[in-house]
Structure 1
């Protein structure tokens, strides 16, 4: 019976964590460039149960031998193994702001190991000067004229330098070249992740590569795997209606495990207080 407590409790914990993940997706449904998280559920290893018995041998000394009889397998619960961002393209909407730049995947290469396409990302520098990546293109100019994210992180060019502009009167080509008037100022730093599952979310729309390594430049590829649109913004790829349905499913699963746990609790109460009681 105690095994049942643990199995039901693990189901409740996994559904609670899944609900928290889905709630975070819903709260970021209007966050530009946000990539929705997806959960992966996995069962704990099964237990194989055996019953120890005694076998009486037909001999004069009544010799008995211990034997093991296979009963079967027992599931020991489930857990949320991991959550991974979905790097599918979000809807692109027009804002007519020169500092809004939408990044679109167009020639992504399918990764032969994962069977999924790669993705392009803006290259930025965080507060500690470390290289990070983002899909959020709602930029702005700070007081010194540097192109920054809403969180104050600096946008980098293809040489890893900060991009400083005179004003918001600049243009960005589909290939990432930034021009002020007839002068080419810089080229937006665009990285390409062949395996997006190797990226780790850090919050504030930032990603980092596992192990602290840097991702290759998208400009090193034969065909540019991206296209930039100035005056547009990529919205989040959260499907609000599907996410709400998934939340209700997770909640019902949590409730079902909760009722099972209550049933086990009542059975345990009877076993302790009623069974074997002397009248």
Structure 2
């Protein structure tokens, strides 16, 4: 009986965690470049059930042999194994702001590959983002809204010395006679990236380093100045999934309540009769 109790309880916890992931997606539905997370549910290891019994052998001594008959497997619950970002392209939104930029992949050598802007976070570490909602700080450096430096392809901050600059479709920042290439990198497996705060990504341990997008064979992209890539969250679909997660949570809750009533009866009524 208790095994079923715990199985239903793990179902409740898994649906609660999934609801949190969906709620975070809904919260960031209007965040530029946001990539929605998908919760991956996985079952705990199954248990193989056998029936133990004694089988009598028709001999003069009436010997008995212990036998084990396989009944089948039983599941012990479910949990959220991992949350996986969905890197599909979001729709473009025109802003006409010179500091806004959107990455658009036109051709890619791998259907799952994705390109990113290169960013330097507050600790000086390299991070990656699809959020091109940039600005210019007091020193004239191109930064994210959180104040992190946007890097060129050599890993240096880009100083625009104001808002008067242009970005070519090839990703070059034109400041007077200077042409500074934006740091645009490519990953053929973006699931190797780990999502951080401020909508940034970092490489997971033992992951392959990202490569310069301009030197990747078969990859074509352009940078749209004055545009932002919208979130790829489908609000209607997310609301539907949130309702489904709630109903699944409620169904497991009712199972737990039924087990609770059975245990209460076993403790307070059957024990009294005994």
TM bucket normalised to smaller: over 0.9
Residue-by-residue CA offset, 1:48-95 (whole Å, 9 max, x unaligned): 111111112223333211111222221111111111110011110111
Partner of 2:137: 142
List gaps (5 residues or longer) in structure 2: none
8 Å contact kept, 2:108–2:218: no
* Match 2:181 to one of 183, 187, 197: 187
Aligned residues: 273
What TM-score results when the alignment is normalised by the length of structure 1? 0.94
Give the superposed CA RMSD: 1.4
Give distance in 1, aligned partners of 2:39 and 2:105.
24
Partner of 1:61: 61
8 Å contact kept, 1:131–1:214: no
* Match 1:230 to one of 225, 229, 237: 225
Partner of 2:272: 277
Give distance in 2, aligned partners of 1:166 and 1:185.
14
Partner of 1:177: 172
What TM-score results when the alignment is normalised by the length of structure 2? 0.96
Partner of 1:156: 151
> CA offset at residue 213 of structure 1?
5.7
Partner of 1:204: 198
> CA offset at residue 130 of structure 1?
0.9
Partner of 1:215: 210
8 Å contact kept, 2:169–2:223: yes
Give distance in 2, aligned partners of 1:39 and 1:123.
27
Give distance in 1, aligned partners of 2:227 and 2:148.
20
List gaps (5 residues or longer) in structure 1: 111-115
Residue-by-residue CA offset, 1:12-63 (whole Å, 9 max, x unaligned): 0110000000000000011111000011111122211111111122233332
Give distance in 2, aligned partners of 1:81 and 1:224.
32
